[in-house]
Structure 1
Amino acid sequence: MTIVQTNQTPISMPAMISAEEQTRNFAAQPSATSPAMALNQMIWGTWIAQSIYVAASLGIADRLENGAKHVDELAQETDAQSSNLYRILRTLASVGIFTEIAPRKFALTDRAHYLRSDVPGSLRAVSMMLSDEWHWNSWGDILHVVKTGQAPMQHLYGVDSTFDYLDHHPESRKTYNKAMNGWSKICHSAVVDAYDFSGIRQITDVAGGYGSLVSAILTANPGVKGVLFDQPHVVADAKAWLEKAGVGDRCNPVGGNFFESIPAGSDAYIMSHILHDWSDEECIQILKNVRRSIAAPGRLLVVEMVVPTSNEFSFSKWMDIDMMIMYPAGRERTEAEFRELFEAAGFRLTRVVSTAAPVSVVEGVVEKDT
């Protein structure tokens, strides 16, 4: 595989950049210095997303895995018009996605590498999901959401929720699932690197899907055992995934409903990207069920974005808008809001551990049994 990199550092996972650099890069690194021109480039920012979507949908990065190719060859392979495809790739190269190493001949860059479908933490499906008809149209309905509070899924499609829509559109659900899997792998790797799991005997992953997070934790901490808790039809298929990850002998899949009860017996409970889907009342109910199952001095670990209260750039603020549009009951929360949820459920928030990804580990403890 040939990757032409824009720097000399090895490629492992997407580099997480500072808030200052994110601000500079938000609209494709605007070169204009005047406020008007900087705003102008931000206004046209959707052009970047849609151009990336074209490259992602055509699988351009996969086709460059073994080396650079002329745009004519790429066009033939993707049944695209060469001249139009060239204009897309030339423009993407100007923002560091692909590079034109010779006239009309393109290669991968470190950014384009993550548009490949077969790499850990691939973002190809994320691009395709965000430009899928249901998501694109829902964001186009944002003014209606702000003025009325009505969700686009109800306003545009006549269904109660995003998940109802996806249940009736299997191809979109397939893309959605791939997108969530790629994004989760990035976040889970960052969590395992940032948080010290030593001292934990057994950890339960609440609503952990097929077990990617708990598998990563157990792999990095051979002395820890795990419980994977999710809906029965999910955990029925999880055993094979856990075996493939090499932790099947240390992780027990258990089915159930977290609004009803959560298995007892672990000294730590973790949930990733769960609470942001639900209202405060529903979150407190979930956390109370964890509290009933955990004994002092147990740990609660919530992996979520934490919204800063200052004016600084934060991806969490943009994700919160996506939650407002796509999942109206949910939201991204500040540290103070997490603290209130924890206290209402019988936990004390002890610290927020930042990671290299845009998520943090919000840690809570049970100090004494009730």
Structure 2
Amino acid sequence: MNSPTVHPAQRIVDLGFGFIYSAALSAAAELGVADRLEQGPRSAASLAEELGVDARSLYRVLRLLASVEVFSEDNAGRFSLTPSADLLRTNAPGSLRSAALMLTQRIFWLPAGELVDTVRTGKDPFTRIFGAPFFDYLERDATQGAIFHRGMSSLSALENGPIAGAYDFTPLRRVVDVGGGHGGFLVEVLKAAPHVRGVLFDHRHVLAEARISEAGFAERCELVEGDFFESVPSGADAYVLKRILHDWSDEVCVRILRNCREAMTESGRVLVVDTVIPPGNGPHGGKVLDVMMLASLPGGRERTAEEFGKLFAQAGLRLSRVIHTPAALSITEAVAA
């Protein structure tokens, strides 16, 4: 669909049909089709009987996905796993089934369908559609909240190691992961830097599912309850903000960054782990994510290095460098101004 040889008219048509591919991917992931192909090729009729769905409809969905190398169909009409389809298996190493369900869930789908109104007014439709702002809604709707958090954990599991390995944490003594969730990224930091002590900072209900102990780092990591809008633990060499700032407006981001600035040592630094939008018209995952944020999170956005620099300056910090990683996210480092 993104080939530079595609005719301009066909490109427009392909983009217009893009949501159909998302819908097909979501259906296959929710039904667990990939799990049932682990033992080898099967026909849509056989799969449908086991799944309790309509065989003809399932075939048409899988045929579409096979056209983009998610599953493959042989001459006998049997479907098999491809490398991409294998990632939809629940127990596959690096499984993205939860991520696929999260990216195609209605909290993103429905607001995106009203994007033109967002562009006209500058206001997202999320609260009007769901009756509450994004994160409030996820707390109220346990099902949607679970889909979202499992999906985010799935994505994070792929990227945490490469991102942590792109930064030299070894000279540091104490690292606070601000809003660090279940601690997946901090675990990778502790693996990479044996002398670092960590602090996982988040709300109580989030820390209840922390993975620090099961990863074997209970002796080197403290779990601290709190709200990063109010304050963060003091005296650390580095404060990590991974996938935090992109959720919030500039004003809110400055408040969070100021809290980190006030808490860190004079030689400390703040490490913002988010996408950094590059200049130019080239494709970049951050540009897609940015429009998703536009539709669903008021104030949420992906930023350029220059925009990060402006936020830092307002918080008493200075942009020192941007470190690109093997993942889609970059590490934007700030030190005391």
Structure 2 distance, partners of 1:164, 1:325, is: 16
- Residue matched to 2:276: 306
CA distance in 2, matches of 1:164, 1:229: 20
1:324-363 matched pairs, under 5 angstroms: 324-363=294-333
Which of 142, 145, 157 is 1:170 aligned to? 142
2:42 maps to a residue whose letter is K
* Per-residue CA distance 1:11-30 (angstroms, 9 max, x = gap): xxxxxxxxxxxxxxxx3x56
Query: Is contact 1:61-1:115 (8 Å) kept?
Result: yes
Return the match for 2:206 from 234, 237, 248. Answer: 234
Q: How far apart, CA to CA, are the structure 1 residues paired with 2:76 and 2:242? A: 46
Counterpart contact for 2:241–2:273, Cα < 8 Å: yes
User: Helix, strand or coil: the match of 2:320?
Assistant: strand
Question: Structure 1: which amino acid aligns with 2:182?
Answer: Y
Q: 1:221 aligns with which of 193, 200, 203?
A: 193
Give the drift of 1:361.
0.5
Q: Distance in 1 between matches of 2:209 and 2:65?
A: 39
Cα displacement (A) at 1:141 = 1.1
What amino acid maps onto 2:62 in structure 1? L
Bigger mean CA offset, 70-79 vs 267-276: 70-79
> Are residues 1:194 and 2:163 paired?
no
Query: How far apart in 1 are the matches of 2:142 and 2:209?
Result: 19
The CA deviation string for residues 141-182 of structure 1, in whole angstroms up to 9 with x for no partner, is 1111111233222332332x1223223322111111111111
**What corresponds to 1:113 in structure 2?**
86
Deviations 1:310-350 (A, max 9, x none): 11111111111111111112111110010111122122211
State the shift of 1:87 in Å. Answer: 2.0
Q: Which runs of 5+ in 2 are unaligned?
A: none
- Who is 2:125 aligned against? 152
Question: Structure 1 unaligned runs (5+)?
Answer: 1-26
Shift of 1:56: 0.5
Is the alpha carbon distance of 1:133 and 1:231 closer, same or farther for their aligned partners in structure 2, counting shifts above 3 Å? Answer: closer
Secondary structure of the residue aligned to 1:249 is helix
CA distance in 2, matches of 1:134, 1:349: 34
Does the CA-based 8 Å contact 2:170-2:192 persist in structure 1?
no
Structure 2 match to 1:18 = none
Aligned partners of 1:120 and 1:181: how far apart in 2?
14
**Alpha-carbon distance in structure 1 between the residues aligned to 2:307 and 2:46:** 53
Alignment of 1:70 with 2:43, yes or no, is yes
Contact kept, 8 Å, 2:240 with 2:270, in 1: the verdict is yes
Residue identity opposite 2:150 in structure 1: K
Displacement after TM superposition at 1:69 (Å): 2.5
1:123 deviation in Å? 2.3
Q: Which amino acid counterpart does residue 91 of structure 2 have in structure 1?
A: D
**Aligned mate of 2:77, from 93, 104, 117:** 104
Deviations 1:248-286 (A, max 9, x none): 111100111112211112211111000111111111111
Instruction: Give the secondary structure class of the aligned counterpart of 2:219.
Output: coil
Distance 1:220 1:31 in 2: 40
| Matching residue of 1:15 | none
Q: Which of these residues, 10, 24, 45, is aligned with residue 37 of structure 1? A: 10
Give the aligned partner of residue 274 of structure 1.
244
TM-score by length of 2: 0.94
Q: State the alpha-carbon separation in 2 of the partners of residues 274 and 87 from structure 1.
A: 39
Does the 8 A contact of 2:103 with 2:151 survive in 1?
no
After the TM superposition, which residues 260-271 of structure 1 pair with which residues of structure 2 at under 5 Å, given as runs?
Answer: 260-271=230-241
Report whether the alignment pairs 1:212 with 2:157: no
8 Å Cα contact 1:120-1:182 kept in structure 2: no
Question: How far off is 1:193 after superposition?
Answer: 2.9
Give secondary structure in 2 for the equivalent of 1:226.
strand
The alignment yields a C-alpha RMSD, in angstroms, of 1.9
Tell whether 2:262 aligns with 1:292. yes
* In 2: Cα distance, 1:134 partner to 1:297 partner: 41
| Alignment correspondent of 1:60 | 33
Letter in structure 2 aligned against 1:231: H
| In structure 1, C-alpha distance between the alignment counterparts of 2:93 and 2:277, rounded to whole Å | 27
